[in-house]
Structure 1
């Protein structure tokens, strides 16, 4: 997989995908296309079990959409770019494999929207977060208004969206916007440690778990419970379930085969 703006490294069943548009890695139409294409290929690759998304350099995870591309677009062109962003973000969110965002600097606008599509978020203590769109006379268009409130609640979401002000890593952690904060020099290793732990989990159970949690967030409780029961039945029939339970009883480390 060769891309102009993405770097992909595969090791220990983990794919590290780095957005590389220095110095601040803005998102443009080509980046959206490359993200969609690469994620489709990584999803199909059975040897890859977890994906890490990060940005190059120390300044930014992603400092929003590329205003140089946006500024001269008409409404039709902007809607086309917006469609590409939403398509790429939804694809990432709906992957059957866990996706970890390793947030190394600022995550603004579309960059924060990209992070919100990931299952888990680890950030550097230097990371900063904001939805600055209100200050540009627009609103987020890549799903930010919807995904943020499901994570931090509507009241806090409105504060972040209405004021458009930057928050630091520690407040992001307190709001559950990120799962973990680490020193900058430890960020990638922390993300890789999590990814390798997840890669060792039984793949059918992990895929089913992600599907049930994601889908259940958008349905009523009874429907969610029904999906959970169906998913439990699917995983109970697997060889990995038998291996996991036998390993527990026998006090040994399980060896999962994805069947």
Structure 2
């Protein structure tokens, strides 16, 4: 296993933890390491997976400084985004249930990974004035949300609420995320992973094959949403170079560097 991924087994449940400090920004290497970790879990016969991140942040989404450093190298940009969407598809297509254990914020690509899981446990912040948040904030940084990813949000919160959240690029505080169905459960930060394991253990007490077959049918629309025809990666990468997109991304970097 690479240094970008840490694993812990809880019986026949495997915790896969993103470990790219400081914020688990998703570059090509981390996305491919995640794919490998999930595939290895399948090969090892695990019955459930917990996908976790760092305390205070699950994943900050795509590594924008890295992507900008690629400049006009279209091949490298396509490779980076293919790795990310490949990681999302691998989660969606997992033969065993997966729980997102979010001990902190989950913006953009971090939210996409969570939406591909079966269940989402999110941390309550110790400071109510600064809650953890989750959402697809792409429009705020100049990116278009592809149709397939929009379907993931609609699946969770319904079409009209998804429209409002997507168009505004809104980050949703944890308590509201629970209210609207964007997450399934809130827990104290130190208990997030334990609650994820508990949920899986309860699910795995059910008759195994009927549960898995029913799950596969229920999640078919999620898998279909990540079909390449609904992501249209070439068009997405073309839009990456639009002047307003580049300006918004560079403004984001300036804010992060302060």
Fold agreement, TM-score > 0.5? yes
Query: Is the Cα–Cα contact under 8 Å of residues 120 and 184 in structure 2 kept in the other structure?
Result: yes
Query: Is the Cα–Cα contact under 8 Å of residues 50 and 193 in structure 2 kept in the other structure?
Result: no
User: Unaligned regions of 5+ residues in structure 1, if any?
Assistant: 220-259
C-alpha deviation, 1:141, in angstroms: 5.5
C-alpha deviation, 1:82, in angstroms: 1.3
**Length, aligned pairs only:** 216
C-alpha deviation, 1:134, in angstroms: 1.2
Gap change, CA 1:194 and 1:97, over 3 Å in 2:
same
- What is the CA–CA distance in structure 1 between the aligned matches of 2:188 and 2:148, rounded to whole Å? 29
Secondary structure of the residue that 1:196 maps to in structure 2? helix
**Aligned residue number for residue 237 of structure 1:** none
Describe how 1:179-258 pairs up with structure 2 within 5 A. Answer: 179-215=184-220
Larger radius of gyration: 1
The TM-score normalised by the length of structure 1 is 0.78
**Aligned residue number for residue 109 of structure 1:** 108
User: Unaligned regions of 5+ residues in structure 2, if any?
Assistant: 126-131, 225-258
Q: CA RMSD in A?
A: 1.9
C-alpha deviation, 1:144, in angstroms: 2.7
**Aligned residue number for residue 61 of structure 2:** 64
Query: Is the Cα–Cα contact under 8 Å of residues 113 and 142 in structure 1 kept in the other structure?
Result: no
**Aligned residue number for residue 9 of structure 1:** 8
- What is the CA–CA distance in structure 2 between the aligned matches of 1:104 and 1:140, rounded to whole Å? 25
**Aligned residue number for residue 117 of structure 2:** 118
- What is the CA–CA distance in structure 1 between the aligned matches of 2:171 and 2:163, rounded to whole Å? 14
Query: Is the Cα–Cα contact under 8 Å of residues 23 and 59 in structure 1 kept in the other structure?
Result: no
C-alpha deviation, 1:15, in angstroms: 0.2
C-alpha deviation, 1:217, in angstroms: 6.7
**Aligned residue number for residue 169 of structure 2:** 164
C-alpha deviation, 1:60, in angstroms: 0.3
What do the CA deviations read for 1:38-72 (whole angstroms, capped 9, x no partner)? Answer: 111112222x101000102x220001111121112
What do the CA deviations read for 1:111-158 (whole angstroms, capped 9, x no partner)? Answer: 000000001001111331122221221124695322111211121112
Query: Is the Cα–Cα contact under 8 Å of residues 5 and 31 in structure 1 kept in the other structure?
Result: yes
| Residue 80 (str. 1) matches residue 79 (str. 2) | yes
- What is the CA–CA distance in structure 1 between the aligned matches of 2:198 and 2:44, rounded to whole Å? 21
Query: Is the Cα–Cα contact under 8 Å of residues 14 and 199 in structure 1 kept in the other structure?
Result: no
C-alpha deviation, 1:216, in angstroms: 5.9
- What is the CA–CA distance in structure 2 between the aligned matches of 1:78 and 1:155, rounded to whole Å? 32
Query: Is the Cα–Cα contact under 8 Å of residues 86 and 142 in structure 1 kept in the other structure?
Result: no
Secondary structure of the residue that 1:63 maps to in structure 2? coil
Query: Is the Cα–Cα contact under 8 Å of residues 112 and 144 in structure 1 kept in the other structure?
Result: no
Gap change, CA 1:103 and 1:20, over 3 Å in 2:
same
| Residue 130 (str. 1) matches residue 130 (str. 2) | no
